[in-house]
Amino acid sequence: MKREEAKAKFMRGAEEMFEAMWEWGEEHPEASFDEIAGKLSQERRELMGEMLGEMLLQHGDGRYEEVECAECGQKTKSNGRRTRTVLHAEGQVEVKRTHRRCPQCGQGIFPPGPPSSVDRAT
């Protein structure tokens, strides 16, 4: 998805979140601060989960041709595409990637590839 398409999708989601929260507030005029914050957090996590998914696909769709096994160094083979649910404080996202398996030692890799510079910085 291109930047402008992703931005438009995110903005639609943010607008839907605002409308849903505003309607919920009208339906719950006696809601406490904690109740409002809890509902808002739930809505925000859904929106951020969608954004996380878009960011994961920003530089490709998770298809890798050659990846070496981290355990034994052999070239891995595709074991089909799989979906994994990733739970994070910022949201939940379904990640679809090529699952690879090492024919030598059986090690599975999902998602394949070396750690990113973001991973190394933390």
* DSSP output for 71-89: TT-PBPEEEEEEEEEEEET
Q: Would you give per-residue pLDDT tens digits along the chain (122 residues)?
A: 788 998 999 999 999 999 999 999 999 999 999 999 999 999 998 899 888 888 877 756 666 667 788 889 888 888 888 888 888 887 788 877 778 889 999 888 775 444 444 443 33
Which pTM does this prediction carry? 0.60
Cβ partners under 8 Å of residue 13, min gap 6:
47, 50
Tell me the domain boundaries of the chain.
Answer: 1-59, 61-113
